[in-house]
């Protein structure tokens, strides 16, 4: 057991270093999401190292721990960012739209995957990542479904690419449609993949749009818990010879829910929230860097047009499903 922990130290150190660089970049340029910076750094490192034999074998155990266990710490602490009264204050019509974006986005993406020939497990990662909260959702699904590392890394890279496109396109679309700042913010929050990308999209429109966009996006983040619980329940009902069934509700999901309840029901000191936010950002950044390192160039080349087509279709679908949010917000 001790030797296993020692073997993980080099890779964990590398992931921590990559996460620290991402946090420093965010501190220097607040508009940069540390999660997105970390995954880009990880992918860049993987590409550079590909010509030198790939990531060293001594690094792999720790990178695997970072992309799984450390990631779950980041997802669990995400619950402390959710203040339920602020989300409920959006009103029931907006909450119905948010639930529709997530549920119909997942169902629609899975349906589109069949004619495109995308394997169900990859399609599920795309569906949840693009419909809920980007890379964190992709990696959280892996914690329930035990998806392959290369699939997770590939889909996370697609979240970066297509989420960035949506981040820039939706503000332009809002101008073309003549939407108010409030409506534009609601559309961005309901449609753009990553929380960091939503912040940029809302900020491009203005301060009012930014506030609405973040509130709507956090409503989508709140849907992560029931979706993961449903996936875990389904996995338990599916026979797996010789494989231990996952828990009905994963521990990190319970902590996520407990964090949201605690933040809502009790006055949590600002210092505690700041510390938790720093740990959460650092954990997600380290995990995303590790996932980026796991992405092999050869795998990315083999992805082909089918998965890219599904990612593009899912982005368009979620944008269409999110448009009613603009109408509700007025």
Distance of alpha carbon 90 from alpha carbon 85, whole angstroms: 9
Distance of alpha carbon 102 from alpha carbon 98, whole angstroms: 6
Distance of alpha carbon 287 from alpha carbon 64, whole angstroms: 9
As separate numbers, helices (DSSP H) first and strands (DSSP E) second, the chain gives 17, 0
pTM of the model: 0.82
Better-predicted residue by pLDDT, 121 or 5 = 121
How does pLDDT run across 10-38, given as a tens digit for each residue? 889 999 999 999 999 999 988 788 888 89
> Quick one: tokens of 81?
């960012």
For 257-279, the three-class secondary structure string (H helix, E strand, C coil) is HHHHHHHHHCCCCHHHHHHHHHH
Q: How many CA atoms lie within 13 A of 155 on its CB side?
A: 32
Spatial contact of 112 and 311, defined as CB atoms under 8 Å apart? no
User: Which residues in the chain belong to E strands, given as ranges?
Assistant: none
Calculate mean pLDDT across residues 43-58: 74
Spatial contact of 319 and 104, defined as CB atoms under 8 Å apart? no
Spatial contact of 163 and 134, defined as CB atoms under 8 Å apart? yes
Which DSSP string do the residues of 123-146 spell out, in sequence order?
HHHHHHIIIIITHHHHHHHHHHH-
* Alpha carbon separation from 98 to 38, 216, 255, 256, 308 (Å, rounded): 28, 7, 23, 19, 25
How does pLDDT run across 284-326, given as a tens digit for each residue? 899 889 888 877 666 666 666 889 999 999 999 999 999 999 9
Spell out the residues 6+ positions from residue 189 whose beta carbon is closer than 8 angstroms to its own: 198, 202, 212, 213, 214, 215, 216, 217, 219, 220, 322, 325
How does pLDDT run across 277-289, given as a tens digit for each residue? 999 999 989 988 9
Q: What is the CA radius of gyration of the chain?
A: 19
Distance of alpha carbon 301 from alpha carbon 223, whole angstroms: 33
Spatial contact of 73 and 252, defined as CB atoms under 8 Å apart? yes
How does pLDDT run across 91-138, given as a tens digit for each residue? 999 999 999 999 999 999 999 999 999 999 999 999 999 999 888 888
Distance of alpha carbon 300 from alpha carbon 97, whole angstroms: 34
Q: Place 251 in a pLDDT band, splitting at 50, 70 and 90.
A: confident
Return phi, psi of residue 244, to 5°.
-65, 135
Calculate mean pLDDT across residues 158-187: 92
Give the pLDDT score at 50. Answer: 66
- Distance between start and end Cα atoms, the chain: 58
Tell me the percentage of the chain whose pLDDT exceeds 70: 89
Tell me the pLDDT of the chain averaged across its residues. 86
Residue whose structure tokens are 């989300």: 87
């Amino acid at each position: 057991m001790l030797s296993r922990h020692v073997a993980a130290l080099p890779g964990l150190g590398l992931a921590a270093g990559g996460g620290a660089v991402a946090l420093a970049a965010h501190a220097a340029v607040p508009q940069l999401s540390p999660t997105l910076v970390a995954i880009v750094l990880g992918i860049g490192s993987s590409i550079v190292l590909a010509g030198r034999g790939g990531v060293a074998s001594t690094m792999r155990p720790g990178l695997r721990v970072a992309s799984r266990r450390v990631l779950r710490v980041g997802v669990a602490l995400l619950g402390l960012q959710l203040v339920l009264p602020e989300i409920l204050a959006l009103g029931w019509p907006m909450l119905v739209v948010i639930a529709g974006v997530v549920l119909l986005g997942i169902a629609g993406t899975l349906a589109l995957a069949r004619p495109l020939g995308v394997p169900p497990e990859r399609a599920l990662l795309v569906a949840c990542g693009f419909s809920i909260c980007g890379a964190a959702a992709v990696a959280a699904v892996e914690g329930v479904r035990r998806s392959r590392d290369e699939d997770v890394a590939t889909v996370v890279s697609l979240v970066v690419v297509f989420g960035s496109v949506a981040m820039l396109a939706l503000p332009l679309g809002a101008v073309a449609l003549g939407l108010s700042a409030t409506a534009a913010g609601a559309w961005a929050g309901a449609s753009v993949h990553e929380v960091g990308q939503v912040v940029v999209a809302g900020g491009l429109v203005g301060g009012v749009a930014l506030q609405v966009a973040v509130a709507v996006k956090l409503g989508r983040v709140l849907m992560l818990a029931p979706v993961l619980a449903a996936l875990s329940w389904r996995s338990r009902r599916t026979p797996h010879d010789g494989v231990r069934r996952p828990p009905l509700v994963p521990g990190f999901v319970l902590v996520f829910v407990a964090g949201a309840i605690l933040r809502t029901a009790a006055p949590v000191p600002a210092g505690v929230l700041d510390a938790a936010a720093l740990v959460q950002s650092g954990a997600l950044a380290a995990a995303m860097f590790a996932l980026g390192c796991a992405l092999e160039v050869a795998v990315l080349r083999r992805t082909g047009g089918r998965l890219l087509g599904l990612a593009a279709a899912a982005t368009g679908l979620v944008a269409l499903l999110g448009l009613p949010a603009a109408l509700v917000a007025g």
